[in-house]
Amino acid sequence: MTQPENQTLSPLRLPEGKMPVLRMMPSPADANVYGDVFGGWIMAQVDVAGSLPAVRRANGRVATIAVNSFLFKNPVFVGDLLSFYADIVKVGNTSITVYVEVYAERNRLQTNVVKVTEATLTYVATGPDRKPRQLPPLESLLIEP
């Protein structure tokens, strides 16, 4: 449901030279009465975040087939600014595995950054019949995923 505060907060920064695929602030409607954001809300955003490079690599629609691992390293609070980073780590014939990291900027007033989540998800490229389809060759893509 929510996440435990079980880490020493080291002075962390957002990854340099990388663009978050998603960046958002959870609202009170996404949290319990204590202001802790639901783990399920975070999972849902991570799923979207991971799908973005997968859709580019697949040059079309994808479907989530597995969450291989998912760690909640620190709780997320209403008012945190969350940055989601997603990188393709493995490509099969029809499937794409993506590593997603989520960082929270807390208080918004200081350089207080904590890593809150890291996860690996696998997507499969799908056709109009919802069945897996072959990934296009990398050279055929106009942009890099």
Q: Which of residues 16-35 bind its own copies (CB under 8 A)?
A: 19-25, 27-29, 31-33, 35
Q: Does 41 bind its own copies (CB under 8 A)?
A: yes
Three-class secondary structure of residue 118 per DSSP: strand
Number of residues that bind its own copies (CB under 8 A): 66
Is residue 71 part of the contact set for its own copies (CB under 8 A)?
Answer: yes
Per CB under 8 A, contacts with its own copies among 82-101 are none
Task: Give CB contacts under 8 A, 24+ apart, made by 112-116.
Answer: 112/9, 113/11, 113/12, 113/13, 113/14, 114/7, 114/9, 114/12, 114/73, 114/74, 115/12, 115/73, 115/74, 116/3, 116/42, 116/72, 116/73, 116/74, 116/75, 116/76, 116/80, 116/82
Contact pattern from residue 115 through residue 134 relative to its own copies, giving x for each residue in contact according to CB under 8 A and a dash for the rest:
----x---xx-x--xxxx--
- Is 39 a binder of its own copies (CB under 8 A)? yes
Using CB under 8 A, list all residues that contact its own copies.
1-6, 19-25, 27-29, 31-33, 35-36, 38-41, 43-48, 51-52, 55-56, 59-72, 75, 78, 81, 108-111, 119, 123-124, 126, 129-132, 142-143
